[in-house]
Structure 1
């Protein structure tokens, strides 16, 4: 397990103190022992000279020096034990003080981390704003981070304005073209060739409208969600299915539903668009008299369809913009190649996951999991526990 910065700094402070304290204790012990040894040597010489003429089996100087030497050794040992005990106690106190100092020094970094974790596209206006600190390294780091947030905020604002302007500027001429072509088709004196050309241009115009709508929706889906609320996923699926035509002219399909109540958290409009794209994709790239299975339960949403065989190594590429399979999906008239890209962008914005697998019989199986809303607070009066979908 990797230790935190506070713990590492505290251990470093403690280790340095014990290293310095041990060096001081042993140096004091050795210097004291050396000084005592020198003093005893001089005293022993003087006492030996003075008591050399006294008749005795053992000179009195040796007796005195031996007794004093034993006492000095005892004093040195006691001093060593006391010094080590004091060093340990002071070392523990120094380690605690070191932790408090490290905590105080690193506390501004906690503000930087908390702000970075809390920030998203919807609250880029927040700043760390360290005030009352000297111009040290941490203050410069916080100011640099705030300056980076200022730049990001300006970039995201410019992006939102661009999407809004592009939505208007691109849709308006196409809407005018559609109106002109539709009026031309209603003209009584229009020749058959003119009507044929107008119908062809209407089809081209419609494909361009779908392409622009898909690009704008993809750009909006990749942004941070500004609103989230608990909602019933099965109701969202039903609302999306009510908007679709399961019986296209060339390839009618049968849709099977198995929808169980499940609560998720998100934006209903974006989730409805994701479901529409999934089901449209399952219908569009199906076979004649094919099948589509839609199930919704505690595990999330699953859309499965029959169709042409899909190579497993090409499944992941289908989530990239403008990517289609070779053969049946290569013609842009069938679609812009943005359906699954928009689905992934919406699911990612909700904090969920989307996976796709190829069916051995042909077709795809796409599964979506979404986060469930937080559990109700105790005592709030709401006793319902939301289902878990991811």
Structure 2
């Protein structure tokens, strides 16, 4: 394997397809036969990771993976926060500027038309003026009349154009402020829309003023917020009710089965059936937990705290090592500090789902798993790579959909419910990050998550 420097952000910048956005920067597009050390800003923990032997997977020259569609354009951040980004496209004029130019253009066109009409009328009036002289011939009088008309028209047109230009500049300035005043209600609507999240849906624009089209737009937006608030309240109640109504019967079933299996007089057939039912019950519990977590992770975060991804990964690996079915997979941790800003519980579920997905879909014999954390180009990054079956590039996108696995669309007993990467994607998008997945040469998958950085906890 060779090493190469981290590619730089493309012309789209950090807010485009090649940047962190909803959805991340480009260096996380791994999957080629090349690797590189973490390349971040000077002083990044990623530099320390490079000295300690950490290696970030890179795409080969013919493998430039694209971000998952759900991650595109998602790097926005909260309005007013450190990651707030303007969504104005390069070279696009604002409505205020267009209105100002329209005002100016209409004024100049009207002024030019008025000047033309005035010139025609003045020329007609001056044409009727007769020069009367003494001691000059009629030809000389006609020449003097022509010169008088030309000189008068030149002065009239020149001074009129000068006045038109001066008044036109004043009109543009006044048009700029008039357009700003006319668009101020729309700016209020835009500011409110950017600030809103699930926790602030109670806010309203409540625009006052004349009953015009802009007020109608604001009232319509307020009505939409009311419906959204009701929808989120309904979802919260459903999640709470489902959490209780679905998990409680399964917990009771598990207890009854465990008691039955603990009976020393139970027959072998009964024990076999009990173990099968217990495994089925456990799968149903995991499915319900996954669905509830998926519903929770798709909601807007109300609070964010600094979380070290290295500590989260270490905790997840410690729990994973205690499970018997994980012992046949060789885990290679390459953990360096990488502080993200987010929800600690959701981030632990994110890393846990990445690790469990990599273990379940690993090679049957001699499986390996690599997990890397750190700061890469200023962003908190976690990357999980595993051996396993060959994943076609066209199948990668489908893996992020709920209940989807490679070559299977139904819930299977051994591989889980197919919610692992769906939960990962939802958690990443809730954190305004981005997730990439590319096939690993020789089989397996490389999944990279980039999250907004946070200051390390004191």
TM-score of the two chains, using structure 1 as the length reference:
0.85
Aligned match for 1:227, one of 298, 303, 309: 303
Q: Greater CA radius of gyration, 1 or 2?
A: 1
Alignment-derived partner of residue 379 in structure 1: none
Taking the aligned partners of 1:202 and 1:145, their CA distance within structure 2 comes to 50
Flag structure 1 segments of 5+ consecutive residues without an equivalent.
375-383
SS of the counterpart of 1:298? strand
1:95 equivalent to 2:172? Answer: yes
1:345 aligned onto 2:426: yes
Matches within 5 A, 1:129-144: 129-131=206-208, 133-144=209-220
In structure 1, what is the Cα distance between the partners aligned to 2:252 and 2:237? Answer: 23
How far did 1:199 drift?
A: 2.3
Aligned residues: 362
1:332 aligned partner: 413
Structure 1 contact 246–283 (Cα < 8 Å) conserved: no
Match among 225, 230, 233 for residue 149 of structure 1? 225
For the residue of structure 1 that corresponds to 2:372, the secondary structure is strand
Pair 1:84-2:165 in alignment = no
Q: Which secondary structure state, in structure 1, belongs to the residue aligned with residue 299 of structure 2? A: coil
Give the structure 2 partner of residue 378 of structure 1.
none
Tell me the alpha carbon deviations over residues 309-354 of structure 1, each in whole angstroms, 9 at most, x when there is no partner: 3333322222211112238x97333311111111111112111122
Q: Residues 69 and 192 (structure 1 numbering): CA distance in 2 closer, same or farther, change over 3 Å?
A: closer
User: How far 1:19 moved relative to its partner?
Assistant: 1.3
> Where does 1:21-100 land on structure 2 (aligned, <5 Å)?
21-40=111-130, 58-59=136-137, 67=144, 70-100=147-177
Find the aligned partners of 2:324 and 2:457 in 1 and give their Cα distance: 41
Do 1:246 and 1:252's aligned partners in 2 also have CA atoms closer than 8 Å? no
Correspondence for 2:194 among 117, 126, 138: 117
Which of these residues, 259, 281, 292, is aligned with residue 183 of structure 1? 259
1:211 equivalent in alignment to 2:287 = yes
Q: Is the 8 A contact 2:329 2:359 kept in 1?
A: yes
Higher helix share: 1
Q: 1:308 is matched with which residue?
A: 389
- Cα deviation for residue 279 of structure 1 reads 1.2
Residue deviations 1:100-155, cap 9 Å, x none?
11111011111111212222222222221112x10011111111111111111111
Classify the secondary structure of the residue corresponding to 1:332.
Answer: coil
Shift of 1:247: 5.9
Could you report, residue by residue, the CA deviation over 1:222-271 in whole angstroms, capped at 9, with x for unpaired residues?
Answer: 11112111221111111212221366348612211111112111111111
The superposition leaves residues 19-41 of structure 1 with CA deviations (integer Å, 9 ceiling, x where unpaired) of 1112212222221221222242x
Residue pair 1:250, 1:288 contacting (<8 A) in 2 also: no
C-alpha displacement at 1:197, in angstroms?
Answer: 2.5
Between the aligned partners of 1:385 and 1:243, the Cα distance in structure 2 is 24
| Alpha-carbon distance in 1 for matches of 2:168, 2:144 | 36
Q: State the distance in 2 between where 1:32 and 1:364 align.
A: 83
Residue 45 of structure 2: aligned partner: none
State whether structure 2 residue 386 is matched by structure 1 residue 296: no
Q: 1:17 to 1:353 in 2, by over 3 A?
A: same
Residues 1:195 and 1:211: Cα distance change in structure 2 (over 3 Å):
same
> Which structure 2 residue ranges, 5 or more long, are not aligned?
1-90
Residue 284, structure 1, aligned to residue 284, structure 2: no
Greater RCO, CA 8 A, separation 6+: 2
Segments of 4+ moved more than 4 angstroms = 61-69
* Superposed CA offset, 1:257-296 (max 9, x none): 1111121111111111111111112222222332211111
2:398 counterpart of 1:317: yes
Describe how 1:252-263 pairs up with structure 2 within 5 A.
252-263=328-339
Find the aligned partners of 2:350 and 2:435 in 1 and give their Cα distance.
11
**Which secondary structure state, in structure 1, belongs to the residue aligned with residue 371 of structure 2?**
strand
Contact 2:306 2:457 in 1 (8 A): no
Whole-Å separation in 1 of the counterparts to 2:187 and 2:223: 18
